Structure formats: C-alpha cells, structure tokens
Chains A and B, each alone.
Chain A
Amino acid sequence: MNIMTIIGMLLTSLGALFLLLGAIGIVRMPDMYTRMQAGTKATTLGAMSFILGIGFMEPAWLIKTILIVVFIALSNPISSHALARAAHRSGIFPLSRENIDLYKKDNQEDKS
C-alpha cells in the first residue's frame, strides 16, 4: 500500500462523509433555500473529493477523473442557481424571522 493509495482512501472517506452530511441536511433543514444550501454545496465538495480520491487510488485514471471533477465544479453551481431563481419566480419565498428578501427588493427597484 503506497502513499497514493493512502491519499486516495483519505479523499474518498472525506467525500463519502460530505455526501452523507449533504443528504442529512436536505432532510433536516426547514426551508427550500436552506435545503438547497445543504444539498448543493456539500454534495459538490463531496463528489469532487470522492472522484479525485478514486483517481488517486488508480493513477492510470487520474486524467479522466480530473475531467469529471472540473465538469462537476463548473456545472453544479449553474444548475443550483437556475433552480433557485426558478423557485423564487414561481412564488416560493424564504422563511426568515426578519423578512429579509433582497432578490425581491432588487426586482422591485428595477421595475420602478
């Protein structure tokens, strides 16, 4: 067991832990936007770390796993941004104690 395999095992363990924490956050959070906060950031880091760890465990596959990691890092924020904007425009507003909704305020200022 050489050093690359040990780094790969550490990275895959970290990635699996973050994927599990993201899935728990989706169930436990009270609001759609906080659910999205848990369910996209934590799973993005988890999947990137997991797939990079697999690339370290098999060094011949490292280039294609880095390709998948770069694709996930580029595509996952775009999809979560599109989803949040669609949810806000279809009438779902965040639960907050102080009623802070800066996106709605900015849109009203644009219209006036």
Chain B
Amino acid sequence: MDTFYYILGGILLLALVIAAFRFFQGPTAPDRIVALDAMSIILTAGLAMLALVFHRFIYIDVALIYAILGFMGIVSIARWMEKGI
C-alpha cells in the first residue's frame, strides 16, 4: 500500500512540475493563468491524498477551502484581464 501511495505522489509531483514549466515559460498572460488553474487543481488532489496518507480528516477540509480559493482567484484574475478592476 505504501508503494501505491509513493507512485501516486510521484505522478502528481511530475504533473505539477510539467505545469509549472508552462507557467514560467508561457508567452502571454492567459497561458500562465491556465497553467496556474491546472496547478491549483493538481494541488487540491494532492491535499486530499495527504489526508489519506496521514489519516487526518481535517485535510479534506483544507482541500475544499483550497478549491474554493483557487476558483475565486482565477475568476477575479479573468475579470481583471477583461476590463480592469
């Protein structure tokens, strides 16, 4: 079972690094925001996996709050790019 957790964590970390490559390299601002959106989704899944590994129920709440804050951040950045705050 520990091997399964290590493989899952490795896949999530690899996905995070690949998305971060587009975040640092992307030519325009919306490319970076798309990469940031994908990174926040991957981090939500990673927080839920941490709750499973450490057997703490409270980390599920952390994942829910992180999903809500990521959604609010992406929508506010999109509104700012459209016509300014």
The answer to whether A and B assemble together is yes
> Taking beta carbons and an 8 Å cutoff, which residues of A are in contact with B?
9, 12-13, 15-17, 19-20, 22-24, 26-27, 32, 35-36, 39-40, 43-44, 46-47, 50-51, 54, 57-58, 60-61, 64-65, 67-68, 71-72, 75-76, 78-80, 82-83, 85-87, 89-90, 92
- Chain A contact residues, majority secondary structure: helix
A78's contact among B60, B61, B75, B83, by CB below 8 Å, is which? B75
B22 contacts A51, C-beta separation under 8 Å: no
B71's contact among A75, A85, A87, by CB below 8 Å, is which? A75
| Neighbouring B residues of A32 by C-beta, 8 Å | 28, 30-31, 34
- A50 in contact with B48 given A35-B34, A71-B67 (CB within 8 Å): yes
- A86 in contact with B78 given A20-B11, A72-B41 (CB within 8 Å): yes
A72 contacts B4, C-beta separation under 8 Å: no
B19's contact among A23, A44, A58, A75, by CB below 8 Å, is which? A23
- A79 in contact with B75 given A40-B37, A92-B28 (CB within 8 Å): yes
| Alpha-carbon distance A32/B32, docked complex (angstroms) | 10
A44's contact among B41, B52, B81, B82, by CB below 8 Å, is which? B41
